[in-house]
């Protein structure tokens, strides 16, 4: 798995132009059944992907924390929201709450998340490949293929399945 993770940025870079062209076409003319196709490709990829073996998303990027996330997680820790924010978060250039540093503070050495049950919405939905109107998040997906082996495989399968 580590070999795949190590090679992912280069593989994603090599496929960038091809993926960009594909997503441009996808945005212009999304297939009627795109949401169903994406759900199927997502499910297939995650049957073969063990996130606990990888955890590259937690090691290399940090999620956005919504106000609801902050409320839920600070309650879990029995902390005041501002205390949680001060201890773990910062405001980024887009004025969003993000982790102060990566890898994620809540990631254990065993790749388990210590706040899994209350984790941020962005973590629950990552890599967002089963999202409705998938074609609207192509820029995010282009970034995620360099981080997540499953996202990379889903995009490759999409290109096989959806022909323009």
Which tens digit of pLDDT belongs to each residue from 22-72?
A: 999 999 999 999 999 999 999 999 999 999 999 999 999 999 999 999 999
CA 79/CA 148 separation, integer angstroms: 32
| pLDDT attached to residue 72 | 98
Class of residue 155 by CB neighbours under 10 A (exposed 0-12, middle 13-18, buried 19+): buried
| pLDDT attached to residue 162 | 94
Number of other residues whose CB lies within 10 A of the CB of residue 162: 18
Rg of the chain taking only CA atoms, in angstroms: 17
CA 61/CA 2 separation, integer angstroms: 17
Class of residue 109 by CB neighbours under 10 A (exposed 0-12, middle 13-18, buried 19+): exposed
- Predicted model pTM: 0.92
Q: Which residues of 77-93 are buried (b: 16+ CB within 10 A; e: fewer)?
A: eeeeeeebbeebbeeee
The answer to whether 56 and 148 are in contact (CB under 8 A) is yes
Encoding tokens for residue 39? 């759900």
Alpha carbon of residue 41 to chain centroid: 15
Q: What is the DSSP letter of 105?
A: T
Output 1 or 161, whichever has higher pLDDT: 161
């Amino acid at each position: 798995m580590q070999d795949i993770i190590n090679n992912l940025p280069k593989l994603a870079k090599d496929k960038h132009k091809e993926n960009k062209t594909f997503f441009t076409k996808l945005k212009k003319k999304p297939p009627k059944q795109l949401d169903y196709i994406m759900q199927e490709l997502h499910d297939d990829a995650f049957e073969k992907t063990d996130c606990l073996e990888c955890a590259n998303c937690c090691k290399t990027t940090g999620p956005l924390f919504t106000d609801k996330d902050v409320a839920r997680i600070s309650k879990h820790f029995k902390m005041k929201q501002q205390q949680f924010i001060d201890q773990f978060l910062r405001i980024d250039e887009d004025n969003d709450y993000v982790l102060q540093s990566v890898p994620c503070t809540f990631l254990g050495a065993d790749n388990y998340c210590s706040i899994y049950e209350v984790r941020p919405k962005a973590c629950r939905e990552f890599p967002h490949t089963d999202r409705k109107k998938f074609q609207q998040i192509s820029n995010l997906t282009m970034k995620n293929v360099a981080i997540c082996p499953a996202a990379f495989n889903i995009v490759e399968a999409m290109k096989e399945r959806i022909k323009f």
